[in-house]
Chain A
Amino acid sequence: MVESHSEETAAHEVYGEVCWQRFLRPRHAGPPPAGLESVCGQARGRADDSEVWLWLSRQPRKAWFQAHGSPWIIAAADLAAEAWQAGEKRLSAATLASRLDAPPDVMDAFLTVEDAWHSALKILD
């Protein structure tokens, strides 16, 4: 048992400012509003105890996510949704890690989101 988080590095320092802000205030939390779900490519990624759902829609160009996992996975899913809305078609775990300035040991979170992204695109195509 961790016995006092106050004695450790503050959470926003552990996760970095970009991840922390997205974790606190994700912009693309889902699911999609009623009616839009049917036009979405919907897929999920799973790893260990984490899970992410991603919905991508072409018309309108929108994306939403839900995630059960660390702040890294929540921030990465939000970033992936934003990337789709910005018109990006390819997204890798490495890109997500780089944009969130993440350490290498949390790569699983980004691979999980990458999985969901590819699966959703496949369904959409």
Chain B
Amino acid sequence: MNEPIYLDYAATTPVDPLVAEAMAGCLTRDGCFANPASAHRPGREARRRVEAARVAVAELLGAEPREMVFTSGATESNNLAIAGAARFHRRRGGHLITSRTEHKAVIDVFRRLEADGFEVSWLTPAESGIVDPAQVAEAIRDDTVLISLMHVNNETGVIQDIAAIAEITRAQGVLLHVDAAQSVGKLPIRLQEWPVDLLSLSAHKFYGPKGVGALFLRRRPRARVEAMMLGGGHERGLRSGTLATHQIVGMGEAARLAIRDMGADRERILALRGKLEARLLAMPGVRLNGDPERRVAGTVNLGFDGVHGEALVAALDPYLAVSSGSACTSASAEPSYVLRALGRSDAQAESSLRLSLGRFTTEAEVDRAADCIEQAVSRLRALSPRSLGDSEPTPLSG
């Protein structure tokens, strides 16, 4: 059987061949394998490559290299930023703000902080998925210490107005953390202009390796967090543990490629997404989840009325690698909490698909994917007793 067409770049991206090449140079005996913390010459060379990567990642964000702390990925960065900042500033106040459509790596940290005695305000975005900056301003209290919002939503691709929100938080003296796992390498990020205090990223979302990421911590004014990983004092004491040279070098190379190619990639991907979207939205009973305009280039989330979610995912499985609006097991399905928060019913959430395109997506793949989805949806609708406009069960007459 042929490999399925990969349309799940929002979940992860393949490592760019140039990134893999740079990483390979840091692994074996004939390469730069030494511990970057060692004082000897091979160690110093490893350190030099790590610092070059730090410069590249900082440049991608418009930050200073010394504002970057390497981590194992955005999940760790989110934990360090949110729990670390909340705990460091505990005496200042115990009120935190986030939204209901954040990634689990943020939501679960806030839930833990709630259990530890912090009070959390959960903002509900509009049906478009957008958090109005005025909502943020209204939610801020005297004892608010931290707000965490994602730049781009992982399910819908909706872009938040981080620049406007950051102006509000800075004026109020509240720390702002941004989970930018879905935007780094896809959208320009201007930390020299946006008064964001903390920002998380993962390399594997922009053609780097899995298992490495970074946290931006602003130096002026200084964003301070309580370290969570202790021992050795690496990364200025904020994240102990031997630096993974090959991973960091890979992320640096991925950052360099993103700086070089982001604009062209975005234009090309946007055109492909437009083609895919136009074909699928032309079908009856197909709706776009999330704001139609303020979205990252590669992502489209569509709901298919009159189709059962599990059946749709199964029907597409041999042909496409995509994400669904539910976490299906053989016995039950958990509808997407993000789509539920945007006002979708359980049935609508479950019969939604996230299609995400990337650097290596071709026009032929987009055409074939649209064919597959059209055929699967038409076939399942023909099998279903429910009318197209009604995803709910047919009423019982007695």
**A contacts, CB < 8 Å to B:** 1-6, 10-12, 14-15, 23-24, 26, 29, 44, 46, 49-53, 66-72, 74, 103, 105-106
Residues of B within 8 A of A6 (CB): 4, 6, 8, 321
Q: Is the CB of A51 within 8 A of B394?
A: yes
B385 on interface, CB distance cutoff 8 Å: yes
Q: Is the CB of B310 within 8 A of A1?
A: no
CA–CA, A51 and B318, complex, Å:
25
Besides A2-B313, A68-B308, A103-B330, 4 more A-B contacts (Cβ < 8 Å) are A1-B336, A2-B327, A49-B347, A68-B306
Cβ contacts A to B, 11 pairs, < 8 Å: A1-B325, A2-B324, A10-B317, A11-B318, A14-B314, A29-B382, A46-B396, A51-B393, A67-B385, A69-B310, A74-B311
Given contacts A44-B385, A51-B385, A71-B314, contact A5 B308 (CB under 8 A): no
Instruction: Identify which of B154, B313, B331 gathers the most chain A CB atoms within 10 Å of its CB.
Output: B331
Instruction: Identify which of B314, B317, B331, B385 gathers the most chain A CB atoms within 10 Å of its CB.
Output: B314
Residues of A within 8 A of B324 (CB): 1-2, 5
Given contacts A51-B385, A68-B386, contact A2 B328 (CB under 8 A): yes
For the residues of A in contact with B, the DSSP-based class is mixed
B346 on interface, CB distance cutoff 8 Å: yes
Complex partner residue of B11 from A3, A11, A26, A72, CB under 8 angstroms = A3
Q: Is the CB of A71 within 8 A of B311?
A: yes
**B contacts, CB < 8 Å to A:** 4, 6, 8, 11-12, 154-155, 306, 308, 310-311, 313-318, 321-328, 330-331, 333, 336, 338, 346-347, 350, 354, 382-386, 393-394, 396
CA–CA, A106 and B324, complex, Å:
20
Q: Is the CB of B323 within 8 A of A66?
A: no
Quote the shortest CB–CB distance from B107 to chain A (angstroms).
13
Q: Is the CB of A66 within 8 A of B383?
A: yes
A78 nearest CB neighbor, chain B only: B383
Q: Is the CB of A11 within 8 A of B350?
A: no
CA–CA, A111 and B358, complex, Å:
43
Complex partner residue of A49 from B4, B12, B317, B346, CB under 8 angstroms = B346
Quote the shortest CB–CB distance from A19 to chain B (angstroms).
10
Given contacts A68-B385, A103-B330, contact A4 B323 (CB under 8 A): yes
Given contacts A2-B323, A49-B347, contact A11 B314 (CB under 8 A): yes
CA–CA, A74 and B6, complex, Å:
27
Q: Is the CB of A1 within 8 A of B383?
A: no
Complex partner residue of B311 from A10, A52, A69, A103, CB under 8 angstroms = A69
Residues of B within 8 A of A105 (CB): 330-331
Q: Is the CB of B311 within 8 A of A1?
A: no
A49 nearest CB neighbor, chain B only: B347
Q: Is the CB of A106 within 8 A of B308?
A: no
Residues of B within 8 A of A46 (CB): 393, 396
Q: Is the CB of A4 within 8 A of B11?
A: yes
CA–CA, A46 and B316, complex, Å:
25
CA–CA, A53 and B387, complex, Å:
13
CA–CA, A68 and B347, complex, Å:
11
Q: Is the CB of B385 within 8 A of A26?
A: no
B346 nearest CB neighbor, chain A only: A49
Q: Is the CB of A67 within 8 A of B313?
A: no
Residues of A within 8 A of B327 (CB): 1-2
Q: Is the CB of B330 within 8 A of A106?
A: yes
CA–CA, A106 and B310, complex, Å:
13
CA–CA, A6 and B313, complex, Å:
11
CA–CA, A118 and B135, complex, Å:
55
B336 nearest CB neighbor, chain A only: A1
Residues of A within 8 A of B350 (CB): 49
Complex partner residue of A10 from B6, B318, B322, B325, CB under 8 angstroms = B318
CA–CA, A75 and B12, complex, Å:
33
Residues of A within 8 A of B306 (CB): 68
Q: Is the CB of A70 within 8 A of B311?
A: yes
Q: Is the CB of A44 within 8 A of B394?
A: yes
Complex partner residue of B310 from A3, A29, A70, CB under 8 angstroms = A70
CA–CA, A68 and B380, complex, Å:
8
Complex partner residue of A4 from B12, B311, B318, B384, CB under 8 angstroms = B12
CA–CA, A29 and B378, complex, Å:
13
Residues of A within 8 A of B325 (CB): 1
A15 nearest CB neighbor, chain B only: B314
Complex partner residue of B308 from A26, A29, A44, A70, CB under 8 angstroms = A70
B1 nearest CB neighbor, chain A only: A10
Q: Is the CB of A49 within 8 A of B308?
A: yes
